Copies of this chain bind each other. A is one copy, B any other.
Amino acid sequence: MELHAVAGLPEIRPGDDIAELVADRATLEAGDVLTVASTIVSKTEDRAVDLEEFPVSGRAAEIADRLEGITGDEKDPRFAQAVLEESTELLIDAPFLLTETRFGHICVNAGIDRSNVPDNDILLLPKRPAESAERIRSGLEDRGIEDVAVVVTDTCGRPFRHGQRGVALGWAGMPASRDWRGETDRDGHELGVTVQSVVDELAAAANLVTGEGDGGTPAVVVRDWEFGDHGGSDELFRSVEDDLIRQALREWRFDE
């Protein structure tokens, strides 16, 4: 398997066509996966916005006030409002905000970024990353580049383990997961692994070569890799019903 960062992408602006910008700078082959950081997808989709676009509700004011009291850091209630508007559920409301975004991804502050936005206050995640991935994939097809899967990525923390790692937000042209259920080891025993989250592993691999900040290269081509002859599943985000941790969080409140 090989991963190559796409070199020379310009600063991305609203309306830019990522498929065109990548196709002009990289040779893509059938079977490749193109990973694209959500930051640049968001920028093309006009998701860099100012905090003044988020008039503060009573709930946002209350949340910001409580967080300020707990952390001792100044909290802008308009930021809390933006997080609420991007989310369907607040899983943790103190000492930080862990929410489920409108497209099912669970992360801190609804994934809203305060860096990487030169002309605005904040950068929201793409509204529907699966559609973004599909649009980039179609754009490649329009240029005669067939059979390239696209994964829109972000970085994200997690319970139990320190640090952030690359994760997939949306994908097109491949399943999210390899389904190994029913497959056996050399001796005929059923495998312990059941479902392998391939899009997340691709996002993690890509994140090793993208970097952040000044030297950032937000698009990566993955080559010489095969999904293989396995069942596929497109479910990546768990529902509350099959996630005990989410159920536990519903019954818990941070104790100041």
Contacts and interface: CB of A to CB of B under 8 A. Distances in A.
A26 to B, nearest CB: 15
Q: Which of A163, A166, A245 has the most CB of B within 10 A?
A: A163
A228 B184 CA distance: 40
Interface in A193-222: 193-198, 200-202, 204-205, 207-209, 211-214, 216
A193 B2 CA distance: 25
Contacts of A2: 1-3
Interface in A238-256: 238, 243-249, 251-252, 254
A209 B247 CA distance: 34
A183 B212 contact: yes
Question: Contact size class for A?
Answer: 35 or more
A195 B158 contact: no
A187 B118 CA distance: 6
A163 B196 contact: yes
Contacts of A158: 158-160
A7 interface: no
A214 to B, nearest CB: 6
A193 B1 contact: no
A192 B123 CA distance: 11
Contacts of A198: 163, 208
B161 A200 contact: yes
Contacts of A54: none
6 contacts: A1-B2, A1-B3, A155-B192, A161-B167, A161-B197, A165-B200
